[in-house]
Amino acid sequence: MEQRYLGNSGFKVPALGFGTGTFGGSGPLFSAWGRTDVAAARRIVDICLDAGVNLFDSADVYSNGASESILGAALEGRRDKAIISTKLSLRSGDGPNDVGSSRHHIVRATDAALKRLGTDYIDLLQMHAFDAMTPAEEVLGTLDDLVRAGKVRLIGASNFSGWQLMKSLAASERRGLARYVANQTYYSLIGRDYEWELMPLGIDQGVGAIVWSPLGWGRLTGKIRRGRPLPEGSRLHDTATFAPPVEEERLFRVIDAMDPIAEETGKSIPQIALNWLLRRPTVASVLIGARDEAQLKQNLGAIGWELTPDQIARLDAASAATPPYPYYPYWNGQFSERSPLPV
């Protein structure tokens, strides 16, 4: 398994990580993702570790904490072999302070996550969303205290906009506090908004991308086709309202471009989608998920080979979208001989 530096931290993570949103399966969203129990999770962790996939990502809101608890149980006796990543700041209770990134919530939520995970430290703790009501200095100061206390090794953001991430990095620099080295972000062949602002920021500031939903919320499985109804087992039946939006014509245009590449390479549609992401600038790790062993092994087939430059160019062209103002004049190089963006 290829190991990559996580931003400018000096810490290495595997090119593929495992997202544990399928662990637990409670509530309308996560029950549609999967219902993996402790025994099945142990088997999945076995396969992942054997393949060098030792980064496991969770969050306190995944199945109301059950995902973290099951992950902790599955890693019992081999915590030292794993990199644990988790997230907090979304609502995790009914109280007025059970949401956000205040010192109160971060400290309580971190301690609760440590207990569920059965560990005394978290390798990577990420803010699951930006809290505009809490000063950035308070957020980063609290996280810095957790790092100094040894409860957290590294910190990151998730689902931040460019200005929110940059404001946070500036606060860290001004105060000499721990800084975000990871940005857990949505990025896929049918969702390339990350490239407009967050990718250039990541290059400039040394923030590595950890990609969630690399198959476009299950749309790039190869089972969704032009002119056909959604497959019976697709999670989109129950979770489409939560999914990042994509125009149908763009989705089918991308799939049409992937089909001949699948024939040329002998690889599946999901493997091609994952391999394309692994070649993108700033991408440190791509999170794969699986409801069962077969799905996991299929996704692991995304590594160990490379798309050709011609195949990448065809995928780039099929998935391209005109970005909104103020990005598009610079995106196509109107104001310079060379576009400043690494695409």
Q: Which residues are catalytic?
A: 62
In degrees and rounded to multiples of 5, residue 80 shows phi and psi of -70, -15
